[in-house]
Amino acid sequence: MRILLTAFNAFGGEKINPTEILLNRLDEVRRKANLPESVKTDRLFLPTEFLRASELLKQKLLTPEKPSEVDGKVGGVNAESIQADVGGGGGRCEARPRTYDAVLALGQAGGRCKLSLERIAINIADSAVADNCGMTLQDAKIQRDGAAAYFATLPIRPILNAGLAAGVPFEISNSAGTYVCNYIMYNILYWAEQNSLGGKAAWRGGFLHVPFLPEQTLAVKAPCMSLTMMEDGLAVCLQKIVAEGDNDERK
């Protein structure tokens, strides 16, 4: 099994993003999850930018893998080479050169106190807050030919139940917002559908929102969660994704 995990860089005036730190501790998360070597986990670090994050993720999922390729980093990608349109249709890759069984994106949701398993992504980008390149979008369709919404196809209920049993504060959220997090979750599920094989989506997909870290709340009163607890939660996610295997909800 091969799983892709993504994280965002800091945005909105924050100096850090918990998801970056969390994925930089993926070895520790794997240890906590007791994953066998046969389960491969790749990382991709994304900028908090609508178009560039989407294009980088698309390249990771739908372009041939180079023999020397390692974990994806934001740096080293020429932004000028990225051609992406809001509402751009398409996303089909006839060769299907890269295979993932599951894609789990991570994002920061300041103000939340639990790990939030997002249930649904909607086909709208709308935010008065600019992304990290200064772009704001209003009433913009993410994909012109996409469904109005897609439901997560990762096993969110089993993850929730296992997490709560382990003492990790999880919840299922019915709104991923309309900012870059929803944008990425939507595209993960859209591309999975567009590249379906035999009526089965190319991969399972979902999104996990995490709270602030304690150091982000020193100057402002807001809920937070320790990095250790986030690691425990991500370990539960990986355990259940692997355990579910092909017993999933892809259609």
Please indicate, yes or no, if residue 251 is contained in any of the structural domains: no
Please indicate, yes or no, if residue 38 is contained in any of the structural domains: yes
Please write the tens of the pLDDT for every residue from 176-212. 999 999 999 999 999 999 999 888 999 999 999 999 9
Please indicate, yes or no, if residue 225 is contained in any of the structural domains: yes
- pLDDT given for residue 43 in this prediction: 98
Please indicate, yes or no, if residue 205 is contained in any of the structural domains: yes
Please indicate, yes or no, if residue 73 is contained in any of the structural domains: no
Domains: count for the chain: 1
CATH number (domain holding residue 22): 3.40.630.20
| pLDDT confidence tier of residue 77, bands split at 50, 70 and 90 | very low
Give catalytic status of residue 55 as yes or no. no
- pLDDT given for residue 150 in this prediction: 99
Please write the tens of the pLDDT for every residue from 103-128. 999 999 999 999 999 999 999 999 99
| pLDDT confidence tier of residue 98, bands split at 50, 70 and 90 | low
Q: Hunting for tokens 């850090």 — which residue is that? A: 16
Q: Which domain holds residue 192?
A: 2-63+87-244
Q: From the candidates 118, 193, 215, 231, which is the catalytic residue?
A: 118
Please indicate, yes or no, if residue 80 is contained in any of the structural domains: no
249 compared with 131, residue with greater pLDDT? 131
Please indicate, yes or no, if residue 69 is contained in any of the structural domains: no
- pLDDT given for residue 66 in this prediction: 62
Report helix, strand or coil for 172.
strand
pTM of the predicted protein model? 0.88
Please indicate, yes or no, if residue 207 is contained in any of the structural domains: yes
78 compared with 31, residue with greater pLDDT? 31
Tokens linked to 181 = 């997090």
Task: Give the DSSP letter string of the chain.
Answer: -EEEEEEE---TT-S--HHHHHHTTHHHHHHHHT--TTSEEEEEEE-S-HHHHHHHHHHHHHSPPPTT--SB-STT--GGG----TB------TT-----SEEEEEEE-TT--SEEEE-EEES-EEESS--TTS--EEEE-SBTTS-SEEE--S-HHHHHHHHHHTT--EEEES---SSHHHHHHHHHHHHHHHT-BTTB-SSEEEEEEE-B-GGGGSSS---B--HHHHHHHHHHHHHHHHHHTT-S---
